[in-house]
Structure 1
Amino acid sequence: MGLCLSDEQGKWTEIGAIINFSDPLLSTVAEHKESYNLPFFDAELIQLSLPDIFIVYGDMRLKKRQIRFRSTNEPDFVELHFSLVGGGIMKNHINGHVHQFDALQHNIIYSPEFDGTGQYSIDKKHQFFEVHFSKNYFLGLVADSGDLLSRFCEKVDQHHFSDISETNLKMTFPIHQCIREIMSCNLSGKLKVLYLQSKCIELLSLQAQAFEQSANNKSRSVLKSAYERDCIQYAETYLTTHRQKPPTLTELAKIAGINEFKLKNGFKEVFGNTVFGYLNDVRLSEAREQLLSGTTIKAISDDLGYASVQHFSTAFRKKYGLSPGKVKLN
């Protein structure tokens, strides 16, 4: 990440320097875990370096509302940014641009330099995940990939500060899943390099697809106000929170304060899936994680609200192509 943070006395502390970011001969992933306990800032970071890709994620907790920071000798890269928990406001004094992220939002950012401030809630956890592609590698990956990406790439190529969209998007389930798979990767050597490369490109593809779809849907969206979009977000939160005993579509519409037509169509517009298709993905992803942690198949089936073990096993096989028993054995 390559940042310097300043305390109230103007003393700068460097954190998260990028290592081997663009070494084409790197055959393994360089991994670094770092903890910081400063008078104004606590953080735990994990950094993964592979050819032309740098991944950094972690938790941070601020002890004062605003901090000053700047970039330091970092390569020229394009950043995929994901705010997982908490949010904040970052103002770049170089160009006056302001980035504001709430929890579970994402964007694609090109910021050649940063010197500015960040504002965050005090003593609350902020969790983030970022993938950085070297500029030339990124431009090669997304060449001729759609109108929105083409316009963004023109600005990147001209070294102009830019976001792919002025509006952040809500993270979809496939984006969540891809991030979890990157964070939980336990491969080693060249296999880990290949796996992380493919997953980072998949994550970029999911983001690009979401922003292209959002741009195309703006003119014909069924959601005509910020209130209706908030209703869809609330419906998703309520649905996943009550996934063991989910409401019917009619009940969910009443709970969210929106009619069924807008719930069905608006949910698919925002999350790229039907209400219960999305719920099925969430439950099966959680089931897979529980299987890998050693939980019994019957306990998972009961916990996630399936009518029977057979019903759960059928759904799981359809999603992953393997029975729950085979996943558990592996």
Structure 2
Amino acid sequence: MTIKFDNTELKNLSRQYTLNTNPDLIKDKCDRTFLAPEWLGKGYKREIILRNGISIVIHDYQLYENVIIDSRGNIEETLEIAFKLSLPQYIPPNINTNFKEGFCYVIEKNNEGDIWQELANTPSKAVDIHLSQSLLDSLINEYGDNFPEDLKPFFYGDNTLPISTPQIIIPSMKMVILQMLNCPFYGLTKNLYLEAKVLELIALKLEYLSNQNQVKTINKIKLNQIDREAIYQAEKILINNYQNPPSLTELAHQVGLNARKLKEGFKEIFNNTVFGHLYYYRMNMAQNLLKQQKNVAIVAENVGYNSATSFNAAFQKLFGVNPKTFQLAHR
């Protein structure tokens, strides 16, 4: 069954359900969490207003039915950068997404809305960043000629399409998004943490686009569809054997590529080295296990580290705290 709502109707239903079940969640006008009505799904949508012209919307829910949302007429005055971890969800009209993982795109400011679809029994995890014009101007001025050409029309407000071409969420972006979804802080510390993560996420996106533009001007390896499928297969093999991964040469042989094509193709598709990608996967798994209060030594072994010392160093390098401190913060 498919249920249709307009955006205001759905938000009012969620607000009323939250008022009836947990009104404290929407007391703070700068940080409100709206629960999904129990008959419609489970989870929440959280709206947070930060400083310096930044606001974010965090999505973490799953619906029981297919839902179509008509948001036409709801004009959004700020530019939005949407980072969608789950597929399929929020598919923009007339845009094909062939990514195996999540994707991100930019929605123009003063956008008049459109019709969106969400699918039943599909986890929805996303972070939407809204930026004021003053912050956009500041970013444009600071980057100058290095500002990515792909985003200039949206930041300057002279784009011809309401939504940019979707791009892959690279591992470093995904890790920041997960850190935002699992923010361990409260109050002012929470706001400062999230603000820093927003700026980090924007910086990663701009850097990625700049690097992509530079790559286009350099002689790079050509990948056909068979090569791309082989690289996605290599990624699958790598993840399935994360505890004892094959060497680069072995992995290339298994998918029928030479090592150079695998390395360069992997970098082009995932914007990371083969084993850099594995590192992010392991650390994400470790983060989830530590939240379950698993023993640190056991977590290290589960994610493929023979040495607890090496695991501690790898974890702290990414998250800024050692595993035990991270675990205590999530009790």
Counterpart residue identity of residue 61, structure 1 = L
Q: 1:198 to 1:85 in 2, by over 3 A?
A: same
User: How much is the aligned-residue C-alpha RMSD, in angstroms?
Assistant: 3.6
Q: How big is the shift at 1:138? A: 2.0
**Percentage of identical aligned residues:** 24
SS in 1 for 2:114: strand
CA deviations over 1:237-291 (Å, ceiling 9, x no partner): 4323331222222332244443321111222233343212332233234335534
Correspondence 1:243 to 2:242:
yes
Does the CA-based 8 Å contact 1:40-1:64 persist in structure 2? Answer: no
Correspondence 1:196 to 2:194:
yes
Alignment of 1:307-318 (within 5 A): 307-313=306-312, 315-316=314-315
Correspondence 1:221 to 2:220:
yes
Alignment of 1:1-330 (within 5 A): 7=4, 13-15=9-11, 30-37=30-37, 44-51=44-51, 52-58=53-59, 59-61=61-63, 63-64=65-66, 67-74=69-76, 76-88=77-89, 89-91=91-93, 98-101=94-97, 103-145=101-143, 146-149=145-148, 152-162=151-161, 166=165, 168-219=166-217, 220-291=219-290, 293-313=292-312, 315-316=314-315, 324=323
Counterpart residue identity of residue 306, structure 1 = Y
Counterpart residue identity of residue 289, structure 2 = Q
Q: How big is the shift at 1:203? A: 0.2
Counterpart residue identity of residue 72, structure 1 = N
Q: 1:110 to 1:303 in 2, by over 3 A?
A: same
Count, aligned residues: 306
* TM-score scaled by length of structure 1: 0.76
SS in 1 for 2:281: helix
CA deviations over 1:67-124 (Å, ceiling 9, x no partner): 53325253x2121112211225323xxxxxx344454111233252234323454553
CA deviations over 1:194-213 (Å, ceiling 9, x no partner): 22111101100111111121
Does the CA-based 8 Å contact 1:313-1:323 persist in structure 2? Answer: yes
Q: How big is the shift at 1:217? A: 1.7
SS in 1 for 2:191: helix
Q: How big is the shift at 1:318? A: 5.9
Unaligned residue ranges in structure 2 (runs of 5+): 13-27
Does the CA-based 8 Å contact 2:234-2:255 persist in structure 1? Answer: yes
Unaligned residue ranges in structure 1 (runs of 5+): 1-5, 17-27, 92-97
Q: Counting helix residues as a fraction of each chain, which structure ranks higher?
A: 2
Q: 1:39 to 1:309 in 2, by over 3 A?
A: closer
Does the CA-based 8 Å contact 1:317-1:324 persist in structure 2? Answer: yes
Q: How big is the shift at 1:149? A: 3.0
Counterpart residue identity of residue 63, structure 2 = R
CA deviations over 1:32-51 (Å, ceiling 9, x no partner): 22134499888731221223
How far apart in 2 are the matches of 1:262 and 1:72?
A: 47
CA deviations over 1:159-182 (Å, ceiling 9, x no partner): 54557953x222111111111111
| Equivalent position of 2:24 in the other structure | none
Q: 1:135 to 1:227 in 2, by over 3 A?
A: farther
